[in-house]
Chain A
Amino acid sequence: MPDIVPNTIKVAAAAIAVLFATATAAIPAYADEPTPSIPVPSAEETSGGHSQHGSDHTTTPSETADEPSTGHEDHAPPTEPTEPPSRPRAWVFGGFAAVNGVALAYAAWLRRRTAPDRERRTRARVAAQVREGNNR
């Protein structure tokens, strides 16, 4: 029985060619237009930090103003001045420093506690190397 794999490769290659030709032929007219084809969000629009998904989200019809904000959908109109969003920097940096400080302190303590073991292992390794060297 002839090996089917080379044949399937030929079929697959033909399929790729068809796929590629279709894709290239189907490139829509906007492809020749200057970018961007979709308006780039302005600084005001992106100030909430969720330009793409947020703007998509606000266009959904069933959303109401009464729903609690998830931090994702509320955007001020571009014409109104927007207040810079408050960032909990102190909390975030404080938490970062605290968690890492604890981790470093714990690691230093662990290192100190296991130092004798480490030294013993090092001595054993060196001794083994010396023995091996003498035997050679």
Chain B
Amino acid sequence: MSTPTVETPQAGPEDQPDTTPPPVGRNLMDIPVVARILRSRWYPGIVRVPIAAVFGLVAYQLLMGPDAAHDNAGTALMWVLWWPLLPIVFVLLGRFWCAVCPFGWLSDQVQRLVGANQPVPAFLKKYGIWIIDASFLAITWADHVWGIVESPWGSGVLLLILTTAVIISGALFQRRTFCRYLCFLGGLSANYARTGMVELRADSDICATCTSRAACYNGTDKVAGCPMFTFARTMDTNANCNLCANCIKACPNDAIQVRLRKPTSELWFIRSPRIEESFLAMAIMGIVIVQNVTMLEMWSDVLAWLQRTTGVTSYPVIFTIAFAIAVSLPVGLLAGAAKLASAHNLESTKLNFARFGYALIPLDVAAHIAHNLFHLLAEGGSVLTTVAALVGIEAGDGDPALASNGTIQVLQFALLALGIAGSLYAASRITRRRYRTAARRRTTYAPMAALVLLLGAVNVWLFLLPMAHRM
């Protein structure tokens, strides 16, 4: 007696979900020089020392130097050089900055001297990213209302406030609690590092045989544990790795690899998307829009129009309204796109929001770098003149531009084109990975692609308009 066979409909190749595992790129630890540097006891301290020295100078200049931003080397070094270069470092090297950040070093020293080493409070673990989101928005708001960037004293006070938060956190809590759960720059770098081209991962086959009681996480007698509370064995994101190489030094099996990878590839392998991280991605988009809008010549006309229309003459009130609108706009648009997608892909709006917020990160990064490129290239000369003035060399009040506006704009548009392409590709890969049928993929991808194109167009339009200088 033959058993009846059940005919199952044959799924076409287009109905197969993309289940390919994350690609494994070249392991940089195979290059002897790289391996030697990362295993050296001088790494990353040797990079940290000059950076800490420059930061000390910046802090001194901001707090004790000239009151005019135009003459202050601290303002130039901090806001014209360091701040614009930072997102570029995030893309190239992930959170490497966090490994050499003077604040992180300060936290380590405080911990060594008086640290109570208390466990991280549960509410920080749960709501840390929301605190980062809120503090990032608050600092941006404060900058516009009180002019922190244009005021050396204001920037100096901001540094003192951050220093206080770092000292308190380092004194009370374990490892780098501040960097992981509270630092607004850490939140930004965590998001941007996902697009990075370098990843640190453990070889799971070797880890399966490990008997060292998680030396990569806990550390050894000679090497500290992971400062970012990340267990290399299960790690699948760059967001919480600062490439400090503690795990590389502590691992007795040489299981840790530092690999190259395709930029943005992490974004479509995220297993547990978090709404707060997607919210941060959209808030950053809003912040970039605000930064661009308030630097436009037409901003004063907009202010005047708002004052005429609403009768409100207080700048903080008007700016707060404009800021709220600008930040809410990308968040609301993603919520709308998620709502449209959820009607067809059988997942909740919240999950769609969380999943596809990550796809906007490439455009975020591109718009952020494009905005900062203006400061770097149109005002970069001020770094040289103000630093030269510190040592008594009069460099004159010449044009601080390092490139013409035309060149800067071409670079900005090239970056935006890359960002838009990266976001569209990431959204397409997420839909291909997640949804089985072509119809579901199409109805999910369409609103997300429309959102990327809309936000891209807004950014292109903003970068077409002339911007004011910071210095």
Q: Do these two chains really belong together in a complex?
A: yes
> For residue A106, which residues in chain B have a CB less than 8 angstroms away from its CB?
171-172
Contact B417 A57 (CB under 8 A): no
B146 interfacial contact with A, CB 8 Å: yes
Known A19-B457, A35-B401; judge A12-B313 contact (CB<8 A): no
> For residue B167, which residues in chain A have a CB less than 8 angstroms away from its CB?
100, 103-104
Known A35-B404, A38-B297, A61-B304; judge A49-B154 contact (CB<8 A): yes
SS class of chain A's interface: helix, strand, loop or mixed? helix
> Nearest CB to that of B425 among chain A residues?
A9
B446 interfacial contact with A, CB 8 Å: yes
Contact B114 A46 (CB under 8 A): no
> Nearest CB to that of A15 among chain B residues?
B453
One of A67, A87, A96 near B313 (C-beta < 8 A): A67
> For residue A36, which residues in chain B have a CB less than 8 angstroms away from its CB?
378, 399-401, 469
Roughly how many angstroms separate A64 CA and B63 CA in the complex, as a whole number?
32
Contact A47 B67 (CB under 8 A): yes
B438 interfacial contact with A, CB 8 Å: yes
Interface residues of A in 48-106 (CB under 8 A from B): 48-54, 56-57, 59-64, 67, 70-73, 84-85, 87, 89, 92, 96, 99-100, 103-104, 106
> Nearest CB to that of B441 among chain A residues?
A5
Known A60-B304, A114-B116; judge A1-B401 contact (CB<8 A): no
Say which one of B68-76, B82-90, B232-240, B261-269 lies at the interface with A: B68-76
Known A89-B63, A107-B172; judge A38-B307 contact (CB<8 A): no
Roughly how many angstroms separate A111 CA and B410 CA in the complex, as a whole number?
56
Total number of B residues with any Cβ neighbor in A under 8 Å: 87
Known A27-B464, A72-B145; judge A20-B417 contact (CB<8 A): yes
A130 interfacial contact with B, CB 8 Å: no
Roughly how many angstroms separate A15 CA and B463 CA in the complex, as a whole number?
18
Interface residues of B in 393-441 (CB under 8 A from A): 399-401, 404-406, 409-410, 413, 416-417, 420-421, 424-425, 428, 431-432, 437-439, 441
Contact A20 B413 (CB under 8 A): yes
Roughly how many angstroms separate A51 CA and B438 CA in the complex, as a whole number?
54
> For residue A42, which residues in chain B have a CB less than 8 angstroms away from its CB?
70
Contact B307 A19 (CB under 8 A): no
> For residue A127, which residues in chain B have a CB less than 8 angstroms away from its CB?
none
One of B110, B150, B456 near A52 (C-beta < 8 A): B150
B213 interfacial contact with A, CB 8 Å: yes
B39 interfacial contact with A, CB 8 Å: no
Q: Per-residue CB proximity of A9-30 to B under 8 Å, as 1/0?
A: 1001101100110111011101
A119 interfacial contact with B, CB 8 Å: no
> Nearest CB to that of A11 among chain B residues?
B449
> Nearest CB to that of A62 among chain B residues?
B307
Q: Per-residue CB proximity of B197-241 to A under 8 Å, as 1/0?
A: 000000000000000010000000000000000000000000000
Known A47-B68, A106-B171, A107-B172; judge A12-B399 contact (CB<8 A): no
A34 interfacial contact with B, CB 8 Å: yes
B300 interfacial contact with A, CB 8 Å: yes
Residue from the set A8, A9, A38 with the largest chain B CB neighbour count within 10 Å: A8
> For residue B340, which residues in chain A have a CB less than 8 angstroms away from its CB?
none
> Nearest CB to that of B16 among chain A residues?
A3
B157 interfacial contact with A, CB 8 Å: yes
Interface size class of A (residues with CB under 8 A): 35 or more
Roughly how many angstroms separate A61 CA and B113 CA in the complex, as a whole number?
56
> For residue B14, which residues in chain A have a CB less than 8 angstroms away from its CB?
1-3
A123 interfacial contact with B, CB 8 Å: no
> Nearest CB to that of B118 among chain A residues?
A110
CB distance from A120 to the nearest CB of B (A): 14
Contact A38 B453 (CB under 8 A): no
Contact A43 B68 (CB under 8 A): yes
Known A9-B428, A46-B150, A111-B115; judge A104-B110 contact (CB<8 A): yes
Roughly how many angstroms separate A52 CA and B291 CA in the complex, as a whole number?
12
Q: Per-residue CB proximity of B152-189 to A under 8 Å, as 1/0?
A: 11100100100110011001100000000000000000
> For residue A27, which residues in chain B have a CB less than 8 angstroms away from its CB?
406, 409-410, 464
> For residue A100, which residues in chain B have a CB less than 8 angstroms away from its CB?
163-164, 167-168
CB distance from B139 to the nearest CB of A (A): 15
> For residue B328, which residues in chain A have a CB less than 8 angstroms away from its CB?
none
> Nearest CB to that of B71 among chain A residues?
A43
Contact A103 B421 (CB under 8 A): no
Q: Closest 3 A-B residue pairs measured CB to CB?
A: A49-B151, A50-B147, A107-B171
Chain A residues in the interface with B (C-beta under 8 A): 1-5, 8-9, 12-13, 15-16, 19-20, 22-24, 26-28, 30-38, 40-44, 46-54, 56-57, 59-64, 67, 70-73, 84-85, 87, 89, 92, 96, 99-100, 103-104, 106-108, 110-111, 114, 118, 129
Name 23 A/B residue pairs within 8 A (Cβ), A-sorted: A1-B14, A4-B441, A8-B446, A12-B421, A12-B452, A19-B420, A32-B404, A34-B399, A41-B70, A43-B68, A46-B69, A49-B154, A53-B294, A53-B319, A60-B300, A60-B307, A70-B316, A73-B315, A87-B67, A89-B63, A100-B168, A107-B110, A114-B117
Chain B residues in the interface with A (C-beta under 8 A): 12, 14, 63, 67-71, 110, 113-118, 144-147, 150-154, 157, 160, 163-164, 167-168, 171-172, 213, 294-295, 297, 299-300, 303-304, 307-308, 313-316, 319, 378, 399-401, 404-406, 409-410, 413, 416-417, 420-421, 424-425, 428, 431-432, 437-439, 441-442, 445-446, 449, 452-453, 456-457, 460, 463-464, 466-471
